[in-house]
Amino acid sequence: MNEAIVGPTSGPAAADTAPRTGSVARKTKETEIAVQVNLDGSGTYNISTGIGFLDHMLEQLSRHSLIDLDVSAKGDTHIDFHHTTEDTGIAIGEAVTQAMGDRAGVTRYGSALIPMDETLTRVALDASNRPYLIWKVNFSKPKLGDFDTELFKEWFQAFAQAAGLTLHVENLYGDNNHHIAESCFKGLARALRQAVEIDPRKADAVPSTKGVLGGSL
């Protein structure tokens, strides 16, 4: 993987009342991506990746997490969608990490159970700064439109790694592949919304007995 160029860390301490924001510029030989996030936003978004279905999913992520999200991506989509999808996950994850800072005050844990017609998906996460993905999601078709369904896992893996999340995604049942994919992103959004919220009872403390998030258990 080519080296990323990451913008300066931004975002105040968790106890501060100013919005927690992050900004990342990532450029490789395969993609050029700019991302801005505001964890304390209202779910407004401006997203253009050149991949219609990915845009739709990222809009769901922003709207249901209440995280303001600005994403501009250009990539080698004439080859396939893999690089743009993966690198977009990395860049958004890095921006979320920036915005959380030392993660002081965050609730840390979040979960969601998302029904979407015949589909039900469960998402649970820990903003632990120990990246790990459990992905128990199967699709019955290799493509949704022109988007390869195997790339959903690649996006979630990249995002979890860069955002420092222990992330479990499990589709309990469902038939419609669009519903399955969308319920995964909506589940992530709702769980992330809980996890990054500031706990008013411990707004100045890192939510760990170690005093820092990351490293060994």
pLDDT of residue 118: 98
Mean pLDDT by 10 residues, the chain (217 residues): 43 59 96 98 98 98 98 95 98 97 92 98 96 98 96 98 98 98 98 94 61 57
Give the pairing type, strands 119-126 and 132-136: unpaired
CATH number of 21-196: 3.30.230.40
The model's pTM? 0.88
pLDDT of residue 13: 40
CB within 8 Å of 72: residues ≥ 6 apart? 33, 34, 35, 48
Task: Write down the domain spans for the chain.
Answer: 21-196
pLDDT of residue 1: 41
pLDDT of residue 2: 45
Nearest by Cα to 120 from 64, 180, 168, 61: 180
**How many helices (H) and strands (E) are present in the chain, helices listed first?**
4, 10
Reported residue count of the chain is 217
pLDDT of residue 77: 94
31 phi and psi, to 5 degrees?
A: -145, 160
Give 10's Cβ-side CA count (13 Å radius): 17
pLDDT of residue 6: 43
